[in-house]
């Protein structure tokens, strides 16, 4: 089982390198990576594995090495990393919700439709 820090990092990396990330996701990913560098060291095996994965984000082998190195570094026991991972995961979820499309179709007269907490009303025979 992958720990929350590693899962968030892999998700953030995938979205960021695909050029579909929002500024919030990119910022949260960069913050998580900065904390990793600060806590583990720029030349640590984990940080170097992440850098290599960033250059080849579709590589399953490099993903496996990142998982292995982050697990060996016990990143899930570092509170700052856990909190940064939570912020990145929240940003990813918000991005997904922002990209969610809800389609409604109605047929007939005097129909009002609302979605996502919004409201709608129909005024019939009301003079402006």
65 token code pair? 């090495």
Q: What is the mean pLDDT of residues 28-32?
A: 93
Q: Give the pLDDT band of residue 75 (cuts 50, 70, 90).
A: very high
pLDDT for residue 103 is more than 60: no
pLDDT for residue 116 is more than 80: no
Using alpha carbons only, what angle is made at residue 35 by residues 31 and 40, rounded to the nearest 5 degrees? 150
Per-residue CA distances from 45 to 40, 42, 112 (Å)? 9, 9, 58
Closest CA to 50 of 92, 90, 81: 81
Which tops the pLDDT comparison, 32 or 92?
32
Whole-model pTM: value is 0.69
pLDDT for residue 104 is more than 90: no
């Amino acid at each position: 089982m992958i720990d929350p820090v590693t899962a968030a990092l892999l998700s953030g990396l995938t979205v960021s390198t695909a050029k579909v990330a929002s500024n919030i996701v990119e910022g949260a990913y960069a913050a998580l990576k900065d904390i990793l560098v600060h806590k583990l060291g720029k030349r640590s095996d984990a940080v170097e594995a992440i850098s290599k994965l960033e250059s080849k984000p579709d590589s399953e082998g490099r993903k496996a090495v990142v998982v292995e190195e982050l697990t060996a570094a016990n990143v899930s026991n570092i509170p700052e990393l856990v909190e940064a991972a939570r912020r990145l995961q929240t940003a990813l979820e918000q991005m997904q919700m922002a990209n969610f499309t809800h389609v409604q179709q109605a047929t007939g007269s005097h129909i009002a439709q609302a979605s996502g907490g919004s409201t709608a009303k129909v005024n019939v025979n009301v003079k402006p």
